[in-house]
Structure 1
Amino acid sequence: MPPHLRSKTHGPIASIAVLSAVLCAATASGGGSTLFVDDDAPPGGDGRSWDTAHRFLQDALTAASDPDRGVGHIRIAEGVYRPDRSEANPAGTANRTVSFRLTGGIALVGGYAGLGAADPGARDPALFPTILSGDLLGNDEPDAMYEDNSLHVVNANGARAASLDGLTITAGFADGPDDARGAGIIVVDGVLDLIDCTLAGNRAIFDGGQHARGGAVWAQGSDLLATDCVFSGNHARRGDDTHPAGGGAVAASASTVTAIGCLFEANRTNALEDGKGGAVWAATGTDLTLVDCRFESNRVFTSNEQAEGGAVFLSSATATITECTFRANEACGSSPDVDGDGFGGALFMFNSTAALDRCRFLGNAACADKAAFGGAIHQIDSSLDLVSCLLSGNLVESSDILEQGAALYARNALTTAVNCTFVANGSLPLNFRDNGISHAGQIMSLANCILWDNGSDDRQSTQDAQIDAPPGEVVVSHTIVQGWDGTLGGIGNHGRDPGFADADGGDDIPGTADDDVRLTSGSPAIDAGDNSVASGTLDLDGNSRFVDDPATADTGTGTAPIIDMGPYEFPGAACDWDLDGDSEVGFTDLLQVLAAWGAPYGFADLVALLAQWGVCR
């Protein structure tokens, strides 16, 4: 497992999904004999054991392609393996078109100690890295010398239930006139599982002919599942002025793509015209599922037209995104000569449908010389459901002061937000027209939400700075809106301070890790929501919803306990002698003490319990 995930506890949905993925992978690749590969092995091995291991992965794949051999697994020791090398060509051929070709249900498993170790079968991918490299000549430099690299390090076209486990895939360079996609992995009409893999430093780049898409992975008409993987520093770039680039890490068309417990960091998409999806590009009927993933510091940049989706771009796609965090992603359009636009610092949607549950959007930005819309999310002609999400510290930045929707911008799009908080989303430079939410053309529904401190400093106290929508196109209920003036109508709404613990944290910067927008005792958001619209039983922390606070009168709607506003449920004040966790000291607590009288409780404990009798405060 990658180091950044080793101490991580997945949420319940993620845990179930991970278990399912592992079982599926085990079932898919569970049969057949095993071959062994170690780059330290002597020449001429048959691969049947570590002692007689193949030196080159390409030879093992050739043997495995023979159906009469019945090979299901290839175990690979630590080392660097290049696709142009084999026993026939130990020094390599420098043939860029050669890839590690996956067929059938083959499973490639890396991270073994290999020959020379006390136990060559000991496995730890972090300690014994197994690297599949497209750097055929071993001459890569930080920003140069990629033109002689492999076009696709791994080719899984047509593979059925193939898997890669515990491998690092790097240095692919897809720059051909018909090959500017999937430098790390290309999979067309195939089924592929990635488990505990790292895909880093792969590039899909072209200056004429075809769109550049999927720096690390290109999937077309395929099923792709990635579990506990890292996608870092991959790049999709388009150099001419007529075609876009998309998906710095992953691009998918007409595919089913699922990522569970994955990290997408510092991936890039650059284009002179229309950059789409700094990390992920999903289009043409693709079904995208993201569970417990992190998107950090991904970027899409264009120097001419539009930059769309700093982390994720959706077009004619469907997405289900659960327990994910989007932090410090950017969509920026800028040029010395031509005004560019930046849309959707984290997520851009066109003609798509997305459901987001318990997600965080923190410190993302849409920036441009011209129009900057949707610091976190930008959607057009789409449908979006947000449940128990937090959008904080997102920005729209424009030198032309065309800034709208620092958290969310929507046009001709249906949007529903339930139990979400939009806080401290604004603009740079400060703009008298900016706002947290900008919505028009369809209906937006806000229920059990909190909108606070959005817009520029000089107008944060106004309702217009929180949300800008035409009359009749927004339905608001049981929601706190700063500057509430009643013009939006609805029931259960007001503008009283929600009483966050510390909305901008110790560093006084919203959208950073030390922020705390959980509710504190006495907040008017406690027990003030509408139970009938609530979705799910867990809050953003993974704690139970519908927790009654005995110290707060119920002002919401439904049968007690009443849900709170915002993504976090207030757990109730704590007392030392609240033994049953119901936020008050009463007879059930007393009975527990009496039942254990003498061990460990005594008279002093009884006195202390009685002193706290009643509701915890």
Structure 2
Amino acid sequence: MTSNVKMKAQVVISVFLLIGTYTAAGKVIYVDDDAQGPVYHGSSWANAYKYLQDALGAASSGDEIRVAQGIYRPHEPVPEPPPAPVPPPPPPPPDRMATFQLKNGVVVKGGFAGIGEPEPDARDIELYETILSGDLTGNDIDVNEAWDVWCEPTFMENSYHVVTGSGTNDTAVLGGFTITGGCANDAAPDSSDSGDILFTSGAGMLNDAGSPTVLNCTFRKNTTWTSYGVSGFDNGNFSPESTYIYLPETSGAAVFNRDGSPTFQNCVFEENVDFGADAYSAGAGVCNINSSPLLENCIFRANVVTGFDSGYDGGAMANYNSSPLLRNCSFIDNWADYSCGGAIYNEQSNPILENCTFRNNKSGTSGGAVLVSGGKSKLTGCTFDENASYFGGGICIGDGLATLTDCAFTDNRASDGGALYSDFRNSLMLKGCTFIRNRADGYGGAIENSGAWYNDPNSITLIADCVFTANSAYLGGGMHNGWNRKNLTVVNCLFTGNEASHAGGGIYNYGCEEILSNCTFAGNLALEGDALASDLLYWQESPSNLQISNCIFRNGENGILNSENTIVTITYSD
């Protein structure tokens, strides 16, 4: 277990200990929107506060707030006055700046039965759903398409941020709520912070320099959008040696984290929409900037980042200069329209993903599930099923270092790199991974190791103890290595039943240098070179240089194809 994991585990344990301590030491405050009074001081269900804001205002460190089923808004609507001979003036517009601000040392729990139930203290977050809604006037309508978000007028009067955890630590706890109806769109009027990214981010929850603990919450149908690039937004405090990072103008429709380390356990992020219009947008579920959040046992489903043109990354999550730890999380049916990272987009970040599942995520250009651009990414025990993109149906690695251990790729598809696309600027380590029935229309049914005129001489690709079965492409049914790729080693791998409609059923090499050791090729099929095919990079006249040792080939007379001027050295192979 890494020190990072240990630290996060200790944080979670301390939070639960603190919850027990505060409950015992502090007071319990009750909230129920069905409270009838006449006294509202929150000391019991009988005289519960009617509004959650009142309870938060009365709470101090050590207190626990129990909230009954119902709908609660940061700024409750002003009731319409009764008819009068002279019509009264209309009620004031809702305060869009209103938010539920969490407090250190205060535990806020939803899902209680409340007044009118036989056991008001009974708690079931599904049966007694407790909703925190940004729909301040109660007039939101459902939209069927992500494109409808940016022009839906009923959203324009909703809270910028339903919940705020800014300035808190892990003792500020929120548990058992549904957070919905937040709308962070364009700059806040009459605000000294006008133009800051905060007013186009974090519609469900905003954590700016905050590290709250969020348990068993659902973030549903929150939206962020802007029709233009926000000027003067904060680029964050990046280290001097960091590559310049272009941050999104709108991000984190469900949750936005900046300069913090919040914890999310057993949470659901679904149907949140980040609409950039003509501006760069990213991370409809969660956006992290300079942050190190822990997400455990969370589900990201049907989140969308989109707009009019391009530059919409990370359907479910976007990370910038961040180090998130994700454990046992699922990403299903997320979408990055036109751009990168259908589920997760990483830029100059160091994410750790353990036992995560990616299914049916899509992006318009690169990384149907995951896009890596700089930093060090580590994935262990993750599965990628039925994801799709143009480059890298499962994952696309642009630059940086990516280490994948015991991961499984099945039925992913792309134009190049059906499961995985690796660009020329990165280092890639694969160990114990399986690639089954992935498909590419062009190069690399399972893996495309691309290259270019210039390849970083320090880049290293090591593929060890992996299995490639029933993958298909035009060139390189199992793997395509090309464009002057260097420092490529494939060891202890099995290639079986892969197919190329043209050449290289198992592997196709195009002007690259590769070491094959202790590998087995059996039952692969291609028009030319059932097991292997090698060609030169014609415009540079750079031949493929292939060194084969201790390998087994069971593909008959058409097993290996070497074009003119390619270099193949075979030792101790059958």
TM-score under structure 2 normalisation? 0.74
What is the distance in 1 between the residues matched to 2:385 and 2:508? 29
**Matching residue of 1:85:** 76
How much does 1:404 deviate? Answer: 4.2
Distance across 2 between alignment mates of 1:58 and 1:412: 51
Amino acid at match of 2:178: T
Q: Is 2:385 the counterpart of 1:348?
A: no
Task: Give the match for residue 281 of structure 1.
Answer: 318
- SS in structure 2 of the partner of residue 287 of structure 1: coil
Q: In structure 1, how many angstroms separate the alpha carbons of the residues matched to 2:7 and 2:348?
A: 25
Contact 1:83/1:100 (CA < 8 Å) preserved in 2? yes
Alignment-mate amino acid for residue 333 of structure 2: S
CA distance in 1, matches of 2:71, 2:421: 45
Report what 1:225 is aligned to.
263
- Do 2:478 and 2:507's aligned partners in 1 also have CA atoms closer than 8 Å? no
| Alpha-carbon distance change, 444 to 26 in structure 1, aligned in 2, over 3 angstroms | same
Q: Distance in 2 between matches of 1:254 and 1:324?
A: 22
CA contact (8 A) 1:59 1:86 kept: no
The answer on 1:25 being equivalent to 2:6 is: no
Q: Separation in 2 of the partners of 1:280 and 1:291?
A: 14
Aligned-partner residue type, residue 277 of structure 1: G
Q: For residue 237 of structure 1, what is the aligned residue in structure 2? A: 275
Structure 1: tracts of 5 or more residues without a match = 1-14, 333-341, 367-371, 398-402, 499-523, 525-617
Asked if 1:422 corresponds to 2:440, the answer is no
1:39 aligned onto 2:71 = no
Shift of 1:93: 5.8
Who is 2:569 aligned against? none
Indicate the residue corresponding to 1:588 in structure 2. Answer: none
Does the Cα contact within 8 Å between 2:478 and 2:506 map onto a contact in 1? no
- Aligned residue for 2:46, secondary structure, equals coil
Asked if the contact 2:480/2:507 (under 8 Å) is kept, the reply is no
Are the equivalent residues in 2 in contact too, given 1:395–1:407 (CA < 8 A)?
A: no
Distance of 2:487 and 2:317 partners within structure 1? 31
Task: Quote how far apart the aligned CAs of 1:107 are.
Answer: 1.4
Establish whether residue 311 from structure 1 lines up as the match of residue 313 from structure 2.
Answer: no
Write the letter of the residue equivalent to 2:519.
N
Residue 243 of structure 2: aligned partner: none
Which blocks of at least 5 consecutive residues in structure 2 are unaligned?
Answer: 82-90, 144-151, 188-194, 231-248, 497-504, 525-551, 553-574
Tell me the SS of whatever aligns to 2:219: strand
Q: Deviations over 1:436-480 (max 9, x none)?
A: 212244221011101233233x66xxx565232446431111111
Quote the residue 1:535 is aligned against: none
* Distance change (3 Å), C-alpha of 1:157 and 1:486: closer
Matched, 1:408 2:425: no
Partner Cα distance (1:381, 1:466) in 2: 19
Aligned to 1:121: 121
1:373 aligns with 2:391: yes
Measure, in 2, the Cα distance between the counterparts of 1:228 and 1:16: 19
1:203 is displaced (CA, Å) by 0.5
Aligned-residue offset at 1:106: 1.7
Matches within 5 A, 1:156-555: 156-161=165-170, 162-177=172-187, 178=195, 179-210=199-230, 211-240=249-278, 243-271=279-307, 272-284=309-321, 286-302=322-338, 307-332=339-364, 342-366=365-389, 372-397=390-415, 403-404=416-417, 406-427=419-440, 430-431=441-442, 433-439=443-449, 440=451, 441=455, 442-456=459-473, 463=476, 465-469=478-482, 470=484, 472-482=486-496, 483=505, 488-496=514-522
Work out the CA distance in 2 between the residues paired with 1:92 and 1:63.
26
TM, length-normalised to structure 1: 0.69
* Cα shift at 1:230: 0.5
What letter corresponds to residue 493 of structure 2 in structure 1?
T
CA distance in 2, matches of 1:17, 1:137: 43
Counterpart CA distance in 2 for 1:326 and 1:103 is: 35
Matched residue of 2:472: which SS?
A: coil
Percent sequence identity is 29
Q: Rate the CA distance shift 1:163–1:157 in 2: closer, same or farther, 3 A.
A: same
* Code of the aligned partner of 2:250: A
Aligned to 2:103: 103
* 1-structure distance, mates of 2:210, 2:58: 21
Secondary structure of the equivalent of 1:58?
A: helix
Tell me the secondary structure at the aligned position of residue 207 of structure 1: coil
Give 2:32's aligned amino acid.
D
Cα distance change of structure 1 residues 96 and 206 upon mapping to structure 2, 3 Å threshold: same
Letter in 1 for 2:313: K
Letter in 2 for 1:116: G
Counterpart residue type for residue 78 of structure 1: Q
Change (3 A) 1:18 1:412: closer
Instruction: Return closer, same or farther for 1:321/1:492 CA change in 2, 3 Å cut-off.
Output: same
What corresponds to 1:94 in structure 2? Answer: 94
Rate the CA distance shift 1:465–1:220 in 2: closer, same or farther, 3 A. Answer: same
Q: Structure 1, residues 324-366: CA drift from partner, whole Å, max 9, x if none?
A: 110000011xxxxxxxxx0110001111211111110111111
For residues 484 and 264 of structure 1, do their structure 2 counterparts lie closer, same or farther at Cα, with a shift above 3 Å needed?
closer
Find the aligned partners of 1:131 and 1:471 in 2 and give their Cα distance.
54
Supply the distance in 1 between the matched residues of 2:185 and 2:212 (Cα, whole angstroms). 23
Deviations 1:557-597 (A, max 9, x none): xxxxxxxxxxxxxxxxxxxxxxxxxxxxxxxxxxxxxxxxx
Contact in 2 for aligned 1:379/1:411 (Cα 8 Å):
no
Task: Kindly indicate whether the alpha-carbon contact (under 8 Å) linking 2:31 and 2:65 is maintained by their aligned counterparts in 1.
Answer: yes
Contact 1:34 1:73 in 2 (8 A): yes
In the TM superposition, residue 103 of structure 1 has moved relative to its aligned partner by 2.2
Give the distance between the partners of 2:507 and 2:110, measured in 1 at CA. Answer: 62
SS in structure 1 at match of 2:212 = strand
Q: Distance in 2 between matches of 1:446 and 1:39?
A: 59
Contact 1:297 1:330 in 2 (8 A): yes
Q: Structure 1 residues 321 and 485 mapped into 2: Cα distance closer, same or farther (>3 Å)?
A: closer
Q: CA deviation at 1:19?
A: 7.3
Offset of 1:28 from its aligned partner?
A: 3.9
CA contact (8 A) 1:84 1:93 kept: no
1:277 deviates by: 0.3
For residue 421 of structure 1, what is the amino acid of its counterpart? T
In structure 1, C-alpha distance between the alignment counterparts of 2:346 and 2:224, rounded to whole Å: 19
Query: Would the aligned equivalents of 2:299 and 2:330 in 1 still touch at CA under 8 Å?
Result: yes
Indicate the larger mover: 99-108 or 110-119: 99-108
